[in-house]
Amino acid sequence: MRSRRVFNYGAGPAMLPAAIMQQAREEFLDWHGTGMSVVEMSHRGTAFMSIAEQAEADLRTLLGVPSDYCVLFLQGGATSQFGMVPLNLAPGGASADYLCTGHWSAKAAQEAQRLCKVNLVCGAGDQPLRAVPPPHSWQRSAGAAYLYYTENETIGGIEFHSVPDAGGTPLVCDMTSSLLSHPLDVSRFGIIFASAQKNFGPSGLVLVIARRDLLGRAPKNMPSLLDYAVHDKNGSMLNTPPTFSWYMAGLAFRWIAAEGGLGEMERRALSRSGLIYSCIDAGDFYRNPVDPAFRSRMNVPFTIADDSLHDKFLDEARAEGLVDLKGHRAVGGLRASLYNGMPQEGAEVLVQFMQEFQRRHG
Amino acid sequence: MRSRRVFNYGAGPAMLPAAIMQQAREEFLDWHGTGMSVVEMSHRGTAFMSIAEQAEADLRTLLGVPSDYCVLFLQGGATSQFGMVPLNLAPGGASADYLCTGHWSAKAAQEAQRLCKVNLVCGAGDQPLRAVPPPHSWQRSAGAAYLYYTENETIGGIEFHSVPDAGGTPLVCDMTSSLLSHPLDVSRFGIIFASAQKNFGPSGLVLVIARRDLLGRAPKNMPSLLDYAVHDKNGSMLNTPPTFSWYMAGLAFRWIAAEGGLGEMERRALSRSGLIYSCIDAGDFYRNPVDPAFRSRMNVPFTIADDSLHDKFLDEARAEGLVDLKGHRAVGGLRASLYNGMPQEGAEVLVQFMQEFQRRHG
């Protein structure tokens, strides 16, 4: 039991559903009568293999992953994918197109520049974007090995609400902060990746969903762990995988299905974030700069018109058990992250606090 | 509470000390009154930063890590280090010397061959070694960037019980299955690495202890996550680290110190493995092929003279709650792994079972 209820609005690692936290605690010392903990069992034994296979099967069902896609459970976080994507998909001097809509897509493009030719399709300027630039303005290159984008930018709070049209070019998407928060047509993508610690588990795990025909071209003068085809061939067990994070991701997949699936996750995300945006838009006290058509359902960055009130806001919120509302250090201000594990009540009490704070200081 | 007591002799992920498992369970939903779980908190917040810093400080104290060495908490397991070591220490066509004494050192050498010139100092033959070849027989190369070895081979059961003399060449050691099982003079090494899931934690974490003057030469056309200097500069938080494994490793470090430190861990390891070796050597029923001067204290591989009894041994052992005694699939036979988390009682009940099995079937 928690000593007192805290709502954590940090950008991740983030709150997980109370039900799966409780379950993980209950079976922490003895998983299903095996007499051992998940953290103590061989990754190649029948117990963990059943956990691993069930997790993959549940994820495939949730997302409707087509059979010609592999699902990999890897280490290294999304940052590892910033390097693996160009190494595997654009080897030997090939080029790739990057849609830059904020901090994380810019970071991915920067990392890719070490490894392949990078063309910035949009967002090459210094100013933070308020919207995804319209497709007619995109500067795509001929022969790009893939078109890359970040579905949700956690710092700027900009989210794609539809899948861009890549033509025949394989589409690669960083869904670290949005995977499993809405229904998805996986067949539109070449590669999707997402680290777990936002919407479906503890840190230490990154999920990669890849169309198999794109794999197998990684150069041989690279560490073998960077080759998707090697991981696919070894069932993500070329070496010992992050077993506890894999297990907890599996609990999250089952929880999502039991709660109603991805449609229900999207309904909840719209409801939670909608409450906060409505509160912000109701007056001039709070501000969010993003074009409503591209506002993130996962991360709501906002400021107070009188920015000298930010520290007071954080202090008073913390005193009420509303924690980690500080904006990313790159942009300052405030931010409420509202992933799958955040209950509706968390959005409600935050709005209540925001309204009271405004009454006291507005 | 465990439903029934099981001793797990698998090679890893392995049993952890009961005391730290209990503690991790007790604070799983609410770490130190923060109202959140370790798996749910920001890696950059004050709570997790205190966990991370305490773990590093405790490890530095346990091992007496000199101040000119960095301690990194990374993802990717020991296998990731098979690639990172040559990339960082032998860039631009340099060569490295590898002492091959079994499966894991051979794997490391094989991976290094993708990335630099590799000279096999010993163990280039096909036959499994029974002992570490004597230093006078080693074929070292001139100008090698480093001399590499694996302190304990989990499959062959061969362990170095002293640190080889590398002259002025930086010594690199894979201590995945032996770190924290005995006292160590870190200043003898250039780089030590060890994944956590044998002697000090869940999987998903690899510890790297590196002399700082060796870092900073990694090529720029590689993913930045492969550069030790980048991790050092970012305090192992270039990206989100494996927070739960880091936390549990910290619990293990404190437990080791509280139990008496590395000298006590070594005494216990000698005692546990000594019981098993004595039972094996007491007759002709069981066999271990390794020269007693190089026998592993962590992994005791053995066979039954009548090898048709192996399956029966495994079945009957399992029925008594003694699990994962099967030898590695590469060599077959039987194996008892006895890491820090294995209580003395685990060695005693195994010997008792071995003696009874021998009485019934000998």
Q: Are A14 and A341 in contact (CB under 8 A)?
A: yes
For B:164-193, CB contacts with A below 8 A are: none
Chain position carrying tokens 């497709």:
A135
Q: Residue B100 pLDDT more than 60?
A: yes
Per-residue pLDDT tens for B211-260? 999 999 999 999 999 999 999 999 999 999 999 999 999 999 999 999 99
CB contact under 8 A, B40 and A14: yes
Q: Which of A16, A22, A82 sits opposite B39 (nearest CB)?
A: A16
Place B1 in a pLDDT band, splitting at 50, 70 and 90. Answer: very low
Contact with chain A for residue B85, Cβ under 8 A: no
**Least Cα separation, residue B282 to chain A (angstroms):** 30
Q: Which of A1, A18, A39, A45 is closest to B21 using CA atoms?
A: A39
ipTM: 0.97
Q: Identify all chain A residues contacting B37, using CB atoms and an 8 Å cutoff.
A: 16, 21
Q: Identify all chain B residues contacting A107, using CB atoms and an 8 Å cutoff.
A: none
CB contact under 8 A, B223 and A115: yes
User: Chains A and B: how many Cβ contacts under 8 Å?
Assistant: 227
Give me the pLDDT at residue A125, please. 72
Nearest residue on chain B to A225, alpha-carbon basis: B80
Q: Identify all chain B residues contacting A220, using CB atoms and an 8 Å cutoff.
A: 114
* Interface-testing mutation among A23, A41, A318, with chain B (most B C-beta atoms within 10 A): A41
**Least Cα separation, residue A291 to chain B (angstroms):** 28
Per-residue pLDDT tens for B324-340? 999 998 889 999 999 99
Q: Residue B125 pLDDT more than 80?
A: no
Give me the pLDDT at residue A362, please. 86
- The single residue of A58, A97, A104, A255 carrying the catalytic annotation is A104
Question: Would you call A306 a catalytic residue per the annotation?
Answer: no
Q: Which of A6, A13, A36 sits opposite B240 (nearest CB)?
A: A13
C-alpha span between B91 and B94 (Å, rounded): 6
Place B285 in a pLDDT band, splitting at 50, 70 and 90. Answer: very high
Segments of chain A with pLDDT less than 70? 1-4
Give me the pLDDT at residue A2, please. 42
Question: Would you call A174 a catalytic residue per the annotation?
Answer: yes
Instruction: Give the whole-number percent of chain B exceeding pLDDT 70.
Output: 99
Nearest residue on chain B to A117, alpha-carbon basis: B221
- The single residue of A174, A227, A232, A324 carrying the catalytic annotation is A174
Per-residue pLDDT tens for A194-229? 999 999 999 999 999 999 999 999 999 999 999 999
Give me the pLDDT at residue A93, please. 87
Give me the pLDDT at residue A4, please. 63
CB contact under 8 A, A16 and B40: yes
Give me the pLDDT at residue B3, please. 47
The mean pLDDT value for B248-277 works out to: 98
Q: Give the per-residue SS3 of chain A.
A: CCCCCCEECCCCCCCCCHHHHHHHHHCCCCHHHCCCCHHHCCCCCHHHHHHHHHHHHHHHHHHCCCCCEEEEEECCHHHHHHHHHHHHHCCCCCEEEEECCCHHHHHHHHHHCCCCEEEEEECCCCCCCCCCCCHHHCCCCCCCCCEEEECEECCCCEECCCCCCCCCCCEEEECCCCCCCCCCCHHHCCEEEEECCCCCCCCCCEEEEEEHHHCCCCCCCCCHHHCHHHHHHCCCCCCCCCHHHHHHHHHHHHHHHHHCCHHHHHHHHHHHHHHHHHHHHCCCCEECCCCHHHECCCEEEEEECCHHHHHHHHHHHHHCCEECCECCCCCCCEEEECCCCCCHHHHHHHHHHHHHHHHHHC
Contact with chain A for residue B15, Cβ under 8 A: yes
Q: Residue B96 pLDDT more than 80?
A: yes
Question: Would you call B198 a catalytic residue per the annotation?
Answer: yes
Q: Give the per-residue SS3 of chain B.
A: CCCCCCEECCCCCCCCCHHHHHHHHHCCCCHHHCCCCHHHCCCCCHHHHHHHHHHHHHHHHHHCCCCCEEEEEECCHHHHHHHHHHHHHCCCCCEEEEECCCHHHHHHHHHHCCCCEEEEEECCCCCCCCCCCCHHHCCCCCCCCCEEEECEECCCCEECCCCCCCCCCCEEEECCCCCCCCCCCHHHCCEEEEECCCCCCCCCCEEEEEEHHHCCCCCCCCCHHHCHHHHHHCCCCCCCCCHHHHHHHHHHHHHHHHHCCHHHHHHHHHHHHHHHHHHHHCCCCEECCCCHHHECCCEEEEEECCHHHHHHHHHHHHHCCEECCECCCCCCCEEEECCCCCCHHHHHHHHHHHHHHHHHHC
- The single residue of B198, B232, B324, B326 carrying the catalytic annotation is B198
Query: Which pair of structure tokens corresponds to residue A96?
Result: 């790739």
Give me the pLDDT at residue B4, please. 63
Give me the pLDDT at residue B324, please. 97
Contact with chain B for residue A32, Cβ under 8 A: no
